[in-house]
Structure formats: structure tokens, C-alpha cells
Chains A and B, each alone.
Chain A
Amino acid sequence: MSEAWIYAPASPAASETARLLAELGFTPHRVEANGALRPRPDARQPALAVLAGDDWADVCARLRDDELLCAVPCLVTIDQEGLETGEVLDGHELIVRPFTAAELRARIARARATTHGIEPGDVVRTGDLELNLATYQVTIDGVPIDFTHMEYELLKFLMTHPGRVFSREALLSAVWGYDYYGGARTVDVHVRRVRAKLGQEHAARIRTVRSVGYRFDA
């Protein structure tokens, strides 16, 4: 189940947002945004961050600076008064309270599209390397390359977050979660397997950044 984290103090508005998100199939968690960015210290990234407090601009900035949360789609909820008096930044998907589940669904889709540049069903492409997010198929020049599940998830994460360096710990928690087995070496092992299957030209796109981690060069 995809998690949605709601950054807001406890309030009827926050509860209503949580209810609508649950209706859309998310598991909502509220986060008191007064320090921690996560509902639990060991939580991975959610599928969506909803910013419902007055301090949303500040939370947005902090999310951008967090290695694991920087790529989470953000949706800012604001009321009419906030819209008139507050500062509205470009590049944030906004929804004005009160709203319906249908409107929320549409705004979430837009937030995702803004963040990733992709939508479910889309194909991520780098040269002749293609990864289809809907069918889990990876092809090079149209020829299928068959991955095990975790190899696929790792490649998907890297291809959908190009140009950014991720530490092995970050990849481990983003791709495997915390029920992994084998420690951070698991990441190296899987990178090696994925590279071996991709062949020389595309393998070079997964760059080892010495003593930091890995980066995918699109």
C-alpha cells in the first residue's frame, strides 16, 4: 500500500485530507513537521507528501534537501485565505480547501507528473535503453533484457532519478526497504548484476561515485 504523509498539525482539515487520501487507496500518516520529516525514524519514502500546514514552504525546502525525500511528489493544500495572503511559489502543485476526492486525485496525478516527468504507463528512455513502468519490461534496441525483481526495482529507481548521487544506504532503504537481507553490500552486488545484463554501453550509465554511491547518467 502506498503511503501518503500529511505534514500538518492535528486539525479537522488534516483529518479530512487523511480520509480522502484513504478513499483513494493511500495509507495516510500525519507528520508533525516540527523537526522530524518522517512519521517513524525507520520510514522509507512515501508515494506522496501533502503539505497542509502554514509552514509548508519551509517543509518543502527541507524535503528538497533530504536525500531520500527529495524525489517525493509534493502537493500543497491551502485555504482561500492563505491563497490570498500567502506566498505562492512556482512549481508547487496546489489544491484549495475544501476539495473533493476526485479533485484530489487529479491534483496528485499532476504532482507526480511534475516531479518525475512521467506517469504510470509511461516509458523511461535513455538512448535505446527503455524501461516500461507499466509492464516491467526493459529493452535495449527493442530486445528484452530479463531482470530479477530487485534488479528491476534498482534500475527503475536509478532511471527515474537520473543525475543524482545516492549513497548505498539511501538506495538500500529506497529500493529494498528495511526488510533487506545481506546489508549494504546487497546494493553493490545488484548494481554489478544489472551492469552485467545491460552490457558495456549502458552499464557505464550507472556511475560509481567514489566513496559516495551511485549515479545514473541519462
Chain B
Amino acid sequence: MTSHADYVLRIVEERRVRFVRLWFVDVLGILKSIAIPASELEAALEDGVSLDGSSLEGGVRGHERDVVAHPDPTTFQLLPWRTDAVVGRMFCDLRLPDGTPFAADSRQALRRMLGVAADLGYTFQVGAEIEFFLFAVPEGDGPPVPLDDGAYYDLTPLDVGSSFRRRTIEHVEGMSIPVKASHHEVAPSQHEIDLHHTDALSMADAVTTFRLTVKEVAGELGVYATFMPKPLEDVPGSGMHLHLSLFRGDENLFAGDPLSELGQAFLAGVLAHAGELCAVTNQWVNSYKRLVSGDEAPEHVTWARHGRAALARVPVARRPEAARVELRQPDPSCNPYLTFALVLAAGLRGIERGYNLPPEGEGPPLPESLREATDRFDASELARETLGDRMCDWIVANKRREWGDYRRAVTEFERRRLLRLL
């Protein structure tokens, strides 16, 4: 077998690739990209590419101005939506010049947590159902304009949505992300695409790639896509339901009726820590408007076998290897790397300390606002142990700033209620 780097260099030559984009995310999970010409690729694979660390969100200290992006050649893939020039991409790990991990690198934070799980003999598998909205590009600063009034599973003729979904699936699968299903969601202009489960690191890369791909395809069709948790007031928001399972080799350790003891302890851990992890799984002011709306979004930390209001669902698995827990709390605008790392940490703690699963349908409320979520995250010993103080402090500072800005904002709600009345 050829080495990964040799394969990349050979493909770049054979396919006449002009540029390679080096991808990484900031602490909020926002995708960043630097493009290097193909001629620089060999050096980049060998030594990495230097970045100005102070331009990265993530609380860089003075002596960390130099950050080096090391491309992961196993993630090399040509972008399917570019036709004018052939462009490839690779995900990167961020390190300091001395080779130590950069404290604000989400990908390595997840890798570290997966290493902890691997030492215990576990591999963590994640599947994702991702919801989002498509809107017509508004004139000026107008409100978002839905493209249709399509209801759940509707097949509307002349539906931009279905040609959109077809093209998206083609591109997404071209990026090594197999799609399990897709359909129109409850709300107008809302879509859902379900990604087949895979190991957590690949899935975090997949979610990141998926969000960009969806936006690219929307752009091609002259509309735009948003993963904002709650873009319209009167219709359900967008969630990202995660299907979680732990394997040892080929064996699904959650298999049971409906869940093994180990699976129950994992779920108990996820539930016990759900509130303190919200600042990552639901990281925006807007996220809490989805969680309060009822419908399919959870408001309480509960689990259930059936029904769609619980925070976690234990579906009946048709085969033992399909046993899983469905987590319905995160939204699609989260940082998937940190979300997966923290959810795994919470589950493993449940196993390690033998947490008991509470009765079905009973549990405390989730944080009501980003402020409450940030306070609880700040005090979370689990989060600090998993992500490190540096990253946690940075997240807390960023979220307090967002809350501060929000407090100063005068909203449409206030004007509607008060402007004429008072």
C-alpha cells in the first residue's frame, strides 16, 4: 500500500489539482479554510502550514501567535461542486511550532476523548439527522422568505427543495458522506438529511463538510441555506438528532432490551450532564428559542422509548448491532467536535461511576437561556476535564459577550408589544 501522503500527491498530479484547501474549525465550529497552490502541497504535508494564531477565535496568548496547521492526508478529497478549477481539501490538526496540540483545536479535543474511549476498548459511533431551512434571498434587509408551504414528507411539484436535495445528496456522497434518507420537514422550506453512522471523528468532519456543501448547492440554485436553530417564530426550529452507540470490535455494547446495562449507564451519564453541556450543544442565544417551542424540541432532561418530546429516545432496534440512543438536544449550528467529545465524556462517566437511569419521562428542565447555560458550563468539572481550562474559559468569555450584546438589543417582540401601548 502507498502511504497516505504519496496517494495525495499522485492524485493531485493526475487530476491536475490547482489548489488544496486546508480546513479547520474555530472553537465555535465555524469552518476556516486556507488555500495553497498544488506546488506547495508536498511541503505542507511534511511540515504543515503556519497560520497567524491571533486571527483564530480561541483566546490565543502572546507567545502562541504562530500556529501550524498539519493536514490529515486521509481526509484528502476533491470538491465535487467546483467545475472551473479542480480543488481538493484536507482537514487539519492545529499545533504549536514545538509540535504540542494547540489548546483551541476542536478536532484534537475530540481525538483526545476518542483516545480515552479507545483505551477502554470502545469505539464511539455517531449518526446524525440534520435539519435546516432554505430561503429565497430577501430584498434588502427583509425577513427570511420561505420557498414553499410544503408539509412533512410532501412531494411538491416545482419544488426547488427536491432538486436541491437531489443535488445536495450527490455532492455530499461525492465527499464520502453516505446519506441514509432525506425529506421535507414539518416547517415550510425546512429539510432534513440523515447521515449514516460512522466513527465520531469522521462524523464531526462530515457535519462540517455537510454544512458547507448545503450552502454551496443552495448558492448554485440562487437561494440560501441556514442552520440557525430557530429562524422563524411560529414554526419548529432545526435540530441535529444524534444516534449514539459504543462498540467493542464488532459488538454493539448498547444491545439489550431496549438497552444494555452499559447503555443505560451511558445514557444516565448523558442525561445527568446534559444541562451543563448546553453552552456547547446549543451555543447561541437563538438556540434557546428552539428549546422552548415545544413541538419536537426537548425542554426537560428526560428519556423515553416512544414519543418525540424527550431529550433522549431509545428506539427499538431491529437488529442488535443497530442498538442506539437518540439524543435530540443539539442543534445543527453546534461545534460537532466539541459536542461529540462532551457527550462521549458524559456517557463514559455514567459507565465509570455506575449512574442509574432515572424513570422514563422524568427529569429537570434544560437551561432556559444562553446565560443560564453558560453559568452551568463554567462550573462544569466534566467540561473542564474534557476540554481543558483554556478552551472552557474561552467559550465562557465568548458566550458572556454574546449574552451581553443580546441584552442590549431591542427586539421586534418589544416593539410589537409596547411601542403603541406605552
Contacts and interface: CB of A to CB of B under 8 A. Distances in A.
A62 interface: no
A111 B96 CA distance: 49
Interface stretch (B71-79, B221-229, B299-307, B412-420): B71-79
Contacts of A153: 1
A148 B176 contact: yes
Contact of A196 (B7, B74, B178): B178
Contact of B174 (A150, A182, A197): A197
Contacts of B123: 182-183, 185
Contact of A197 (B118, B125, B176): B176
Contacts of A135: 10, 14
A126 to B, nearest CB: 20
Given A136-B10, A149-B4, A149-B74, A185 B199 contact: yes
Interface of B is mostly: mixed
B196 A146 contact: no
A146 to B, nearest CB: 4
Nearest to A182: B199
Interface of A is mostly: helix
Contacts of A56: none
Contact of A144 (B4, B15, B198, B199): B15
A182 B78 CA distance: 24
Interface residues of B, number: 33
B199 A152 contact: no
A152 B298 CA distance: 42
Interface in B1-19: 1-2, 4, 7-8, 10-11, 14-15
Interface stretch (A10-18, A71-79, A186-194): A186-194
Interface in B42-92: 73-78, 80
Nearest to B17: A146
A149 B1 CA distance: 10
B247 A185 contact: yes
Contacts of A146: 11, 15, 77-78, 80, 174
A140 B50 CA distance: 39
Contacts of B176: 148, 151, 193, 197
A80 interface: no
A153 B176 CA distance: 14
Interface in A137-162: 137, 144, 146, 148-153
Contacts of B196: 189, 192
A183 B77 CA distance: 23
B172 to A, nearest CB: 9
Given A135-B10, A153-B1, A183-B123, A189 B202 contact: yes
Nearest to A177: B1
A37 interface: no
A7 to B, nearest CB: 23
Most A CB within 10 A of own CB, among B1, B8, B76, B178 = B1
B249 A184 contact: yes
Interface in A40-63: none
B179 interface: yes
B352 interface: no
Contacts of A181: 118, 199
Interface string A188-217: 010011011100000000000000000000
Contacts of B174: 146, 197
B74 A148 contact: yes
B74 A184 contact: no
B199 A150 contact: no
B173 A136 contact: no
A189 B8 CA distance: 21
B250 interface: yes
A189 B199 contact: yes
A189 B128 CA distance: 14
B14 A137 contact: yes
Contacts of B14: 135-137
Given A182-B123, A182-B199, A183-B249, A152 B7 contact: yes
A183 B250 CA distance: 7
A146 B81 CA distance: 12
Contacts of B7: 136, 149, 152
A144 B198 CA distance: 25
Interface of B: 1-2, 4, 7-8, 10-11, 14-15, 73-78, 80, 118, 123, 125, 173-174, 176-179, 196, 198-199, 202, 247-250
Interface of A: 135-137, 144, 146, 148-153, 168, 175, 177, 181-186, 189, 192-193, 195-197
